[in-house]
């Protein structure tokens, strides 16, 4: 059974997703194919990752293998416009390239603006391009990544805004909760995707994580991922290890108690997991 979250446009997105950052080109297609067989249905790629073609190849192979039961509509493919291509003209050309890479699977489920950078006018132009892509049907959902509150307010105030971002993807874990940003997205109906939801593996031996893992008969990683789900956002664990796919999906037969969610949230160090030691 695929678990999903409803987006603000009525569409549904599978939970969790597989983060495809740093998956080597010679492994990416097989990793995605194996992940689909394990039960993953959402894949997060990007121009900057350099493996979009291979991610699409893995999805296409899985669909072609059994077209009666392996349906395109059940898979959710995400890619991103890189910051070098911000601006209306730049993003228009770049989106055509992204769509060409996705041609074997027909369309793109979600396109995000990968980084906001520091040019409001170019950000606006890129959002216009994404809105047009939804209107013409080449892209199903659009959103942003790494946007802070001020940048989200900017989008919501666009005079020509037709589509509110469905997603904001940014770093989140019990050790970096971004509570104010989290609440702003929630208030405005923007679903959050969390990259580095496992704190890059640097807090697996935390005593409370270990205690909860023992209580529920789960691994520390599964406690991290369940915290994400109980907080209401979508974790994007990244792994190339086939044996980890099923455990990363096996997080729906238990639920953390509210006080346990709060306990883990209280571990916030207000610093990126990339800076944790």
Active site residues: 49
Let me know: does 111 contact 133? Beta carbons within 8 Å.
yes
Q: Which residue has the tokens 């391009």?
A: 129
What Cα–Cα distance (Å) separates residue 223 from each residue in 206, 229, 232, 246, 261? Answer: 11, 10, 14, 14, 10
Q: How distant is the alpha carbon of residue 207 from its chain centre? A: 28
DSSP-derived 3-state class of residue 70: coil
Q: Which two tokens stand for residue 197?
A: 């939801």
DSSP-derived 3-state class of residue 36: helix
Burial of 263 (0-12, 13-18, 19+ CB in 10 A): middle
Let me know: does 144 contact 155? Beta carbons within 8 Å.
yes
Q: Is 114 annotated as a binding residue?
A: yes
Distance CA 221, CA 167 (A): 24
Q: How many helices and strands (H and E) does the chain possess?
A: 10, 10
Across the strands, what pairs with 79? Answer: 111
Distance CA 52, CA 99 (A): 10
Contacts 24+ apart (CB under 8 A), 237-244: 237/16, 237/18, 237/19, 237/197, 237/198, 238/18, 238/19, 238/20, 238/21, 238/22, 238/23, 238/195, 239/18, 240/23, 240/24, 240/27, 240/31, 242/31, 242/34, 242/38
Give the residue ranges of the annotated binding site: 114
Give the residue ranges of the annotated binding site for substrate: 114
């Amino acid at each position: 059974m695929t678990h999903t979250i409803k987006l603000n446009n009525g569409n549904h997105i599978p939970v969790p997703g597989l983060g495809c950052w740093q998956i080597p080109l010679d492994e990416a297609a097989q990793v995605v194919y194996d992940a689909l067989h394990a039960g993953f249905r959402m894949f997060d790629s990007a121009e900057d990752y350099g493996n979009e073609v291979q991610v699409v190849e893995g999805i296409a192979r899985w669909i072609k293998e059994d077209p009666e039961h392996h349906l395109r509509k059940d898979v959710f493919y995400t890619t991103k416009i890189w910051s070098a291509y911000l601006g209306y003209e730049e993003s228009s050309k770049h989106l055509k390239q992204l769509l060409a890479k996705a041609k074997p699977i027909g369309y793109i489920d979600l396109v995000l603006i990968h980084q906001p950078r520091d040019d409001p006018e170019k950000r606006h132009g890129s959002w216009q391009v994404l809105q047009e892509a939804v209107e013409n049907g080449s892209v199903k959902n659009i959103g942003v990544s790494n946007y802070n509150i001020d940048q989200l307010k900017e989008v919501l105030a666009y005079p020509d805004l037709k589509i509110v971002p469905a997603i904001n993807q940014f770093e989140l874990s019990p050790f970096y909760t971004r509570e104010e940003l989290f609440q702003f997205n929630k208030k405005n109906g923007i679903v959050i995707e969390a990259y580095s939801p496992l704190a890059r593996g640097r807090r697996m031996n935390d005593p409370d994580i270990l205690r909860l893992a023992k209580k529920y008969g789960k691994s520390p990683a599964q406690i991290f991922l369940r915290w994400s789900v109980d907080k209401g956002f979508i974790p994007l664990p990244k792994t190339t290890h086939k044996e980890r796919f099923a455990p990363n999906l096996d997080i729906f037969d238990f639920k953390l108690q509210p006080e346990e969610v709060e306990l883990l949230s209280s571990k916030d160090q207000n610093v990126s997991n990339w800076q944790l030691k």
